[in-house]
Amino acid sequence: MSSNYLKRLFLDFMQMKEFAEHPLIMKSAKGVWYEDVAGKKYLDGLSGIFVVSAGHGNRRIIDAMKKQLDEITFAPPLHSTNLRALELAELLSKITPGDLHTVKLSSGGSEATETAMKLARQYHRQTGNPHKYKIISLYDGFHGTTMGALGASGTTKRRTAFEPFGSGYVHVFPPTCYRCPYGLTYPDCHILCARIVEDVIKKEGPSTVSALIVEPISNTGGIITPPDEYFKILREICDKYNVILIFDEIITGFGRTGEMFAAQTFKTTPDIICMGKGMASGYSPIGGIIFSDKIADAFYGRNEDQVQFNDGHTYAGNPLSCAAAIATINVIIDERLQYKARDRGLRIVEKLKELEYLGIIGDVRGKGLLIGVEFVKDKVTKAQFDERINFGIRVGKNALQKGLIIRFDPNWCAFAPPLIIENEEVDQMMQIFHESLKEEALAAA
Ligand SMILES: Cc1ncc(COP(=O)(O)O)c(C=O)c1O
């Protein structure tokens, strides 16, 4: 393998000089295991990157795609659709809650969140509220790397190089209970982080606010998991001010949080759900949105110029991707993987509790197979490790050396293995994590 090759391929959010010196090149994968070009095995504790929900090398999905390859692999979304796209739309409307029945497909997550925000704006425009354009979202949230999605994202590090964005993005603090931005404690806080959204809408002017976009559980913020009441309050506020509630379920969808969608886990139906990542388990790129009858109805009519949704992507509804998504969803349904995710997630939490003796586990949070652990130097004061140590990153890199892939950040790590993971594999994952954490805790002491 030529090293020039490594220099000439930019990876995501990656310092390429460092990577070129220590590259990780995957060759094959099966179940919850990767193998690199040197023959080293890695336990996939992150489903690739929250994607491979049904595991690697799933025969049912591969066979469905092979069959589709022989039938049709492209149908232009500008003037036609195809049988798989229709089948997928129907299936999605069956597994999502409430009156979410209408689907717009795309090729990935950023396209989905962009589409959702555009749909909200155009919906208001053609229902008599042309000035409703602002998008409210959360600090530390992430909705993708295209400019609109990044504008709504609240991850400072990923945003600053590309500012300024278009106008109309307003951010509020997320439900970070462990480190409440308002210095309050649950439940005495009365969920101020949700209620304050009403004040923000009033101050911005309700006639200018189009949508509120939130991840049910935020990855980039550190698996931020809101209290049960949070989304119910947001739902009420959005209804009161005619603001479209968008759930970005690109990570939390398709069984990840213990139900098919986090909307079901948190018992709140938004107006739009954005999907991607686990939708086709990584066998083919796909994303999309599903939205309410109320919104869909505003786009039916005779005058094309006024009512057609002015959005499109060349690969939307690609038959091969749709076939992969249908097969993935059927695997999740038939093997009851969302419930398996619940069980396995509880096992991870139990194993993390056993690591309390190290004295550096500040908080464990998440739902289903989306579990995060935050590290502290001092459990009483919640003081974090010195920034220069990059403690969580050291833990993650140590685990990688030992053959485990997890999500890592300076102050936390996260586990999100494929939903098919068995108990023994969870134990193996947690054993490697334990060893890595212990070594780094000793080194940092
Ligand atoms: C919550 C969330 N939304 C949107 C996106 C963007 O998805 P994609 O990378 O497929 O464009 C991501 C990607 O990590 C994400 O985590």
pLDDT tens per residue, range 94-147? 999 999 999 999 999 999 999 999 999 999 999 999 999 999 999 999 999 999
One-letter amino acid at 22 equals: H
Indicate if ligand 1 lies below 6 Å from the C-beta of 396.
no
Indicate if ligand 1 lies below 6 Å from the C-beta of 216.
no
Tokens of 217: 């559980």
Q: What is the pLDDT of residue 98?
A: 97
Per-residue burial over 333-367, b if 16 or more Cβ lie within 10 Å, else e, is eebebbebbbebbebbbebbeebeeeebbbbbbbb
Tell me how far apart the alpha carbons of residues 421 and 342 are, in angstroms, rounded to a whole number. Answer: 11
Indicate if ligand 1 lies below 6 Å from the C-beta of 113.
yes
User: Residue 38: phi, psi to the nearest 5?
Assistant: -90, 0
Q: What is the pLDDT of residue 302?
A: 72
**β-strand 134-138 against 169-172: which pairing, if any?**
parallel
Closest C-alpha to ligand 1, atom 10: 109
Q: Is the bond into 187 cis (omega within 30 degrees of 0)?
A: yes
Pocket test for ligand 1, best of 47, 140, 143 (most atoms within 8 A of CB): 143
Alpha helix stretches (DSSP H) within 24-82: 47-50, 59-71
Q: What is the pLDDT of residue 304?
A: 65
Measured N-to-C along each axis, helices 192-204 and 230-240 cross at an angle, to the nearest 10 degrees, of 20
For residue 2, is pLDDT > 70?
Answer: no
Q: What is the pLDDT of residue 305?
A: 66
Indicate if ligand 1 lies below 6 Å from the C-beta of 53.
no
Q: What is the pLDDT of residue 3?
A: 56
CB 233 within 8 A of CB 212: no
Tell me how far apart the alpha carbons of residues 230 and 359 are, in angstroms, rounded to a whole number. Answer: 30
pLDDT digits (tens, 9 = 90+) for 353-369: 999 999 999 999 999 99
Instruction: pLDDT band for 382, please (50, 70, 90 cuts).
Output: very high
Give whole-number Cα distances, 416 to 136, 228, 317, 328, in Å.
28, 21, 27, 17
Closest C-alpha to ligand 1, atom 2: 143
One-letter amino acid at 299 equals: F
Give whole-number Cα distances, 300 to 50, 78, 362, 393, in Å.
35, 17, 51, 50
Instruction: pLDDT band for 7, please (50, 70, 90 cuts).
Output: confident
Report CA(383)–ligand 1 centroid distance (Å).
30
Q: Which of helix, strand or coil describes residue 111?
A: helix
CB 275 within 8 A of CB 254: yes
Instruction: pLDDT band for 8, please (50, 70, 90 cuts).
Output: confident
For residue 386, is pLDDT > 90?
Answer: yes
CB 292 within 8 A of CB 272: yes
Report CA(422)–ligand 1 centroid distance (Å).
27
One-letter amino acid at 226 equals: P
For residue 15, is pLDDT > 70?
Answer: yes
Report CA(189)–ligand 1 centroid distance (Å).
31
Tell me how far apart the alpha carbons of residues 175 and 198 are, in angstroms, rounded to a whole number. Answer: 15
Indicate if ligand 1 lies below 6 Å from the C-beta of 251.
yes
pLDDT > 90 in the chain, percent: 92
